[in-house]
Chain A
């Protein structure tokens, strides 16, 4: 195969990006704008969400630190530079024809070379209706649109964890059966998912449920000594029904996923989407499966991260008194820096444009540079030790908690999260209702604040427990190694685009890059404290520009 020059291949190419406002999408967008200045046009598909999508995009470009490096390089010319390369398109992947204005759709059909679909619902156990709409219908509508284009190809971003509850080496191939070994026809399974949605909705709408809720609402209003007017009862019943339906839909999705061997609705729906896309014979596409996407190694800068749903909770608990993480020593947790993922994506895009692509690319580290969970836990403990010794809020944190090591342990360990939470609950209950009344006021005040602190700790541990439950299949129950060789089968000309996770020094990355990144960008979100907002010297403003042919544009180096 011919070596791929990422810059040359992307020169003058027109790309539609769906889901570009997510963590991965934003880093990819910034990297393309900065490192491929001769790109044709990037059409960024955005929902309005009640506002002009152009305003949303401007806010994103101005306030997110991911674009800081780009702003720093471009200075005053950032608005003009970006506006010449980006066009915001209002649309929605979960609607036919992406809810595009017909004239715009027609224009794009003749122009697009590549579509990169990052869009999806990444909540693990959402309402199954939303998961099917975003992860399956969305993928199929994007595929429909790509097929209707004159010359476009599709990179569909999925996840490595479509593998579900499997053990061993996961190859870069399409899974033709469910993880628990049942033969599965994707089309039939999608119909089954829709049937489950229909049945769940019908059950919630049944007369029995209506009558039960009606009775409960009247009893509740009367217990407060108030008058159950018909309007009030109807309003409350409606709200309860909607809440009940969401819970039922979430449970229905999770139950079906678990029945087939997937750990959650997210991976179940993503797997179905992959299979359904594979049935499209006219569609030129590649499936891109990243593993657990984490802090950037070097682009936009070391440590950049967003959100709190992957390794964050594991690192967070290493700085608490809880120190038994349910994990099987030796099992890999397949973490990969976001900028490595973006490089991988650019390689896959280039391979597609050059017709050298493979059907499926996995993008992780367990195959090339194994990072076992017990190593991750120990590094997190050591990183927190380093941090707390210098920045601990008090002597207890600096001297004791910093040396309170976290270890990988059996989920049934006596000091597991469930037991700690039960203990905290009992403590709070005793301090509020069981303590002697005749105590000095200082002691009563101290016990009240301790009870509050126990409740707060309990709430945080509950969130962490939920996340650990989701990860337990991968970090304890199953030994999963993801084969990641397809990206490296392409030789890349430019060193800055080479996908090389084997060069990652886990110790330095975890301690010096990832953990400080989590502390700065993710923990504030978890602790509901103020997150940092970027304020460039020259705020970004979209400027209306014509669509010049890429080759007519003067080359600008913004590296």
Chain B
């Protein structure tokens, strides 16, 4: 297939670029809405304890942190996760959408790029939220494992949010005939380094300490916005 038929894409890391809240908040919120007060308290505590682990380890690789945080979903029924996920997306996350991020999506569409949102949040939350964002072609996010209609607390592979982001990018580009050299990626966390370095036009948005340092070294553009 020749270069002329290849399309360009814009990859958006949802957390930090499109909205403020991260997966720890989502897991803690979901845990606090479980059936039964004992379960609510226990799982909320579990998610809260995972928060420091997530912020410390998450500078380089969030795989472990993600796996621990999402244990808070264990035992929740698929119905509950889906309906509460819709509620969280509509009532909490929708108001946290960042206008500047949405403008970047709009601009990417205008440039004729395929818009791909990558999130380490679970599909039950991210997919309903993305219905409020126009112009998205695909959402790639984490998926919970269910057995007998109940979440096991495990995330299905491939896990989003770890170092595998770079390898995933190459595979995705070849499957969708995407020219990575002409593509853009927006991200703000340390583990997104491989995703950013895989495209021709990386852009660092609201970065954490690790990524800010890396951006400076690589001379990547940095954007800071809070609204």
Looking at B74-82, B98-106, B175-183, the stretch in contact with chain A turns out to be: B74-82
CB-contact partner of A507 in B33, B82, B84, B87, under 8 A: B82
Are A378 and B87 touching (Cβ within 8 A)? no
**Cβ of B79: which chain A residues have Cβ within 8 Å of it?**
375, 378-379, 382, 507
Are B36 and A386 touching (Cβ within 8 A)? no
**Cβ of A381: which chain B residues have Cβ within 8 Å of it?**
35
Are A405 and B36 touching (Cβ within 8 A)? yes
Whether A500 sits at the interface, judged by CB under 8 Å, is no
Whether A264 sits at the interface, judged by CB under 8 Å, is no
**Cβ of A305: which chain B residues have Cβ within 8 Å of it?**
none
Are A382 and B149 touching (Cβ within 8 A)? no
Are B149 and A375 touching (Cβ within 8 A)? yes
CB distance from A414 to the nearest CB of B (A): 15
**Cβ of B77: which chain A residues have Cβ within 8 Å of it?**
375, 378
Nearest to A381 among chain B residues (CB) is B35
Contact string against B for A residues 368-382, beta-carbon threshold 8 Å, 1 for contact and 0 otherwise? 000000010011011
Are B87 and A386 touching (Cβ within 8 A)? yes
Contact string against B for A residues 389-413, beta-carbon threshold 8 Å, 1 for contact and 0 otherwise? 1000000000000010101000000
Contact string against B for A residues 99-112, beta-carbon threshold 8 Å, 1 for contact and 0 otherwise? 00000000000000
CB distance from A521 to the nearest CB of B (A): 23
Q: Roughly how many angstroms separate A382 CA and B84 CA in the complex, as a whole number?
A: 8
Are B83 and A382 touching (Cβ within 8 A)? yes
CB distance from A319 to the nearest CB of B (A): 15
Whether A415 sits at the interface, judged by CB under 8 Å, is no
Q: Roughly how many angstroms separate A381 CA and B83 CA in the complex, as a whole number?
A: 11
**Cβ of A389: which chain B residues have Cβ within 8 Å of it?**
87
**Cβ of A507: which chain B residues have Cβ within 8 Å of it?**
79, 82-83
Q: Roughly how many angstroms separate A379 CA and B80 CA in the complex, as a whole number?
A: 8
**Cβ of B87: which chain A residues have Cβ within 8 Å of it?**
386, 389
Nearest to B87 among chain A residues (CB) is A386
CB distance from B17 to the nearest CB of A (A): 29
Whether A511 sits at the interface, judged by CB under 8 Å, is yes
Residues A511 and B83 in contact in the complex (CB < 8 Å), given A375-B77, A378-B77: yes
Residues A403 and B33 in contact in the complex (CB < 8 Å), given A375-B149, A386-B87: yes
Q: Roughly how many angstroms separate A403 CA and B35 CA in the complex, as a whole number?
A: 8
Contact string against A for B residues 136-171, beta-carbon threshold 8 Å, 1 for contact and 0 otherwise? 000000000000010000000000000000000000
Are B36 and A378 touching (Cβ within 8 A)? no
Nearest to B84 among chain A residues (CB) is A382
Q: Roughly how many angstroms separate A21 CA and B83 CA in the complex, as a whole number?
A: 37
**Cβ of B36: which chain A residues have Cβ within 8 Å of it?**
405, 407
**Cβ of B33: which chain A residues have Cβ within 8 Å of it?**
403
Are B83 and A405 touching (Cβ within 8 A)? no
Q: Roughly how many angstroms separate A403 CA and B36 CA in the complex, as a whole number?
A: 10
**Cβ of A403: which chain B residues have Cβ within 8 Å of it?**
33
Q: Roughly how many angstroms separate A375 CA and B35 CA in the complex, as a whole number?
A: 13
**Cβ of A375: which chain B residues have Cβ within 8 Å of it?**
77, 79, 149
Q: Report the count of interface residues on B (CB-CB < 8 A).
A: 11
CB distance from A508 to the nearest CB of B (A): 10
Are B149 and A405 touching (Cβ within 8 A)? no
**Cβ of B80: which chain A residues have Cβ within 8 Å of it?**
378, 382
What is the predominant secondary structure among interface residues of chain A facing chain B? helix
Q: Roughly how many angstroms separate A382 CA and B85 CA in the complex, as a whole number?
A: 12
Q: Which residues of chain B (24-48) have a CB below 8 Å from chain A?
A: 33, 35-36
Q: Roughly how many angstroms separate A153 CA and B197 CA in the complex, as a whole number?
A: 76
Are A386 and B35 touching (Cβ within 8 A)? no
**Cβ of B35: which chain A residues have Cβ within 8 Å of it?**
378, 381, 405, 407
**Cβ of A378: which chain B residues have Cβ within 8 Å of it?**
35, 77, 79-80
Q: Roughly how many angstroms separate A379 CA and B82 CA in the complex, as a whole number?
A: 11
Q: Roughly how many angstroms separate A43 CA and B35 CA in the complex, as a whole number?
A: 52
CB distance from B92 to the nearest CB of A (A): 12
CB distance from A126 to the nearest CB of B (A): 37
Q: Roughly how many angstroms separate A389 CA and B33 CA in the complex, as a whole number?
A: 13
Q: Which residues of chain B (42-81) have a CB below 8 Å from chain A?
A: 77, 79-80
Contact string against B for A residues 481-513, beta-carbon threshold 8 Å, 1 for contact and 0 otherwise? 000000000000000000000000001000100
Q: Roughly how many angstroms separate A403 CA and B32 CA in the complex, as a whole number?
A: 10
Nearest to A372 among chain B residues (CB) is B149
Nearest to B32 among chain A residues (CB) is A403
Q: Roughly how many angstroms separate A40 CA and B33 CA in the complex, as a whole number?
A: 56
- Please indicate which of the listed interface residues A382, A403, A511 has the most CB atoms of chain B within 10 Å of its own CB: A382
**Cβ of A407: which chain B residues have Cβ within 8 Å of it?**
35-36
Q: Roughly how many angstroms separate A405 CA and B77 CA in the complex, as a whole number?
A: 13
**Cβ of B83: which chain A residues have Cβ within 8 Å of it?**
382, 386, 507, 511
Q: Roughly how many angstroms separate A386 CA and B33 CA in the complex, as a whole number?
A: 12
- Please indicate which of the listed interface residues A379, A405, A507 has the most CB atoms of chain B within 10 Å of its own CB: A405
Nearest to B83 among chain A residues (CB) is A382
Q: Roughly how many angstroms separate A101 CA and B210 CA in the complex, as a whole number?
A: 92
Nearest to B82 among chain A residues (CB) is A507
Q: Roughly how many angstroms separate A511 CA and B84 CA in the complex, as a whole number?
A: 12
Q: Roughly how many angstroms separate A378 CA and B36 CA in the complex, as a whole number?
A: 12
Q: Roughly how many angstroms separate A457 CA and B170 CA in the complex, as a whole number?
A: 63
CB distance from B225 to the nearest CB of A (A): 31
Nearest to A330 among chain B residues (CB) is B148
**Cβ of A511: which chain B residues have Cβ within 8 Å of it?**
83
**Cβ of B84: which chain A residues have Cβ within 8 Å of it?**
382
Nearest to B78 among chain A residues (CB) is A507
CB distance from B34 to the nearest CB of A (A): 8
Q: Roughly how many angstroms separate A511 CA and B87 CA in the complex, as a whole number?
A: 13
Nearest to B37 among chain A residues (CB) is A405
Nearest to A407 among chain B residues (CB) is B35
Q: Roughly how many angstroms separate A269 CA and B149 CA in the complex, as a whole number?
A: 39
CB distance from B87 to the nearest CB of A (A): 7
CB distance from A388 to the nearest CB of B (A): 12
Nearest to A374 among chain B residues (CB) is B77
Q: Roughly how many angstroms separate A367 CA and B12 CA in the complex, as a whole number?
A: 45
**Cβ of A379: which chain B residues have Cβ within 8 Å of it?**
79
Contact string against B for A residues 105-140, beta-carbon threshold 8 Å, 1 for contact and 0 otherwise? 000000000000000000000000000000000000
Using a CB–CB cutoff of 8 Å, the interface residues on chain B facing chain A are: 33, 35-36, 77, 79-80, 82-84, 87, 149
- Excluding A378-B79, A381-B35, 4 further A-B contacts by CB distance (< 8 Å) are A378-B80, A382-B84, A407-B35, A511-B83
Q: Which 9 A-B pairs have the closest CB atoms?
A: A405-B35, A382-B83, A507-B79, A379-B79, A378-B77, A378-B79, A407-B35, A382-B80, A378-B80
| 15 A-B contact pairs sorted by A residue (CB < 8 Å) | A375-B77, A378-B35, A378-B80, A379-B79, A381-B35, A382-B79, A382-B80, A382-B84, A386-B83, A403-B33, A405-B35, A405-B36, A407-B35, A507-B79, A507-B83
